Structure 1
Amino acid sequence: MREFFTSYQDELLQTSITIIILVIVRYIFHKAARKVGVLSDFNTVRTTLIIKYINVVLSILLLAILSLVWGVNFNDLGLVLSSVFAVIGVALFAQWSILSNITAGVILFFSFPYKIGDRIKILNKDFPTEGIIEDIKVFHMHIRTDEGELITYPNNLFLQIGVTKIDKESHDDATDSI
């Protein structure tokens, strides 16, 4: 055992430093995501989802750095990764919208000016929708219309189509005049 530690002393030290740094970075990112969630008054489920995304990205980064530290042969690693990505690419080719909705969900978390409970109007000429945001999920949003219908709207469309927030007073005035 002592032989192992003396032979791989540099690699073990670099691994320890890498893990410590990534734990600190993880803590900072988690704290920042929670702060954005609190300041923007986001649902805790949404904040937890973003934290899971952060964990996945940092885990992949940790594996990449550790493979560099331990001297993995990049020719072999490149062959394995290219094969894995080819299989994943073929499997997800028909499901590209899933990836775009996940990406849109992350973007909406940090930049979407609306939150659960807001009344919005989606400015889509083919399918105009007005209602209250009931929930924001990974792939879609739930919007409850005045008629009680629950509409599931994909996240990636929120980045492509105009959305306006309707003030509660102006909506009440409009319904009173009808």
Structure 2
Amino acid sequence: MMTTTLFDDYAREAIATGIVLILLVVLRVITTKLVRRYARLSQTVERRTNLVIKYLHLLINIFLIIALTIIWGVDAKDIIIAVSSLATVVGVAMVAQWSILSNITSGIILFFSYPFKIGDTIQIHDKDFSIIAEIDDIGAFYISMITKEGELVIYPNSLVLQKGISIVKTEFLSSEFTD
């Protein structure tokens, strides 16, 4: 009778796990460098950059967990059942909170599409609440702006993507505000 060690029994899984963990580290480093380079070129605020990096790392970690469960022999059918059950629970919970997810998604879109930056003066074309203001901060959920009267206006990211927006020239704005 031949005795085997635990490592001999699971050598293939242990090696694959090591490769996946190395791949995780490499992917996280690469995505961080790429996002930071993009942010530097587009002059994006550090806090926004860190949020996007955090979201991408979360996505990479989810793929890691799925890969490890497959490597260690969890049946694909069981994974699908678990993921669909989790998605159902999260989906039901998010029905009441869909605006949060919408604003986070919009924040990521605004980060990569980069139509305006902090310090730009924009006009939001909304028949009920048209506004001209300077962008003070762009967060994961909202944009904060300051009007010529000094009012602080918080505008959700999802609405920014739904409304027409003009970037107002600084010279134009100065003459308009002084009149």
Is the structural similarity TM-score above 0.5? yes
Q: CA deviation at 1:22?
A: 2.0
Q: Which stretch of the first structure deviates more once superposed, 166-175 or 60-69?
A: 166-175
Q: Which stretch of the first structure deviates more once superposed, 93-102 or 70-79?
A: 70-79
- Deviation string 1:36-94 (CA, Å, 9 cap, x unpaired) is 11111111000011110011001001001111111112333333333322222111111
Q: Separation in 2 of the partners of 1:166 and 1:117?
A: 11
Instruction: Give SS of 2:162's match.
Output: coil
Q: For residue 14 of structure 1, what is the aligned residue in structure 2?
A: 16
Unaligned runs of 5+ in 2: none
Q: Separation in 2 of the partners of 1:36 and 1:156?
A: 22
Q: Separation in 2 of the partners of 1:47 and 1:78?
A: 33
Q: Separation in 2 of the partners of 1:99 and 1:116?
A: 23
Q: TM-score, normalised by structure 2?
A: 0.92
Q: For residue 35 of structure 2, what is the aligned residue in structure 1?
A: 33
Q: Separation in 2 of the partners of 1:113 and 1:89?
A: 30
Query: Which stretches of structure 1, 4 residues or longer, exceed 4 Å deviation after superposition?
Result: none
Q: CA deviation at 1:113?
A: 1.9
Unaligned runs of 5+ in 1: none
Q: For residue 120 of structure 1, what is the aligned residue in structure 2?
A: 122
Q: Separation in 2 of the partners of 1:132 and 1:174?
A: 13
Q: Which stretch of the first structure deviates more once superposed, 74-83 or 57-66?
A: 74-83
Q: CA deviation at 1:112?
A: 2.1
Q: Separation in 2 of the partners of 1:92 and 1:17?
A: 35
Q: Separation in 2 of the partners of 1:76 and 1:17?
A: 24
How many residue pairs get matched? 176
Q: CA deviation at 1:173?
A: 2.3
Match of 1:147 among 141, 146, 149: 149
Identity %: 43
Counterpart amino acid of 1:163? I
RMSD after superposition: 1.4
Q: For residue 108 of structure 1, what is the aligned residue in structure 2?
A: 110
- Deviation string 1:99-148 (CA, Å, 9 cap, x unpaired) is 11111110100102211111111111211011011111111110111111
Q: TM-score, normalised by structure 1?
A: 0.93
Q: For residue 72 of structure 1, what is the aligned residue in structure 2?
A: 74
Counterpart amino acid of 1:119? T
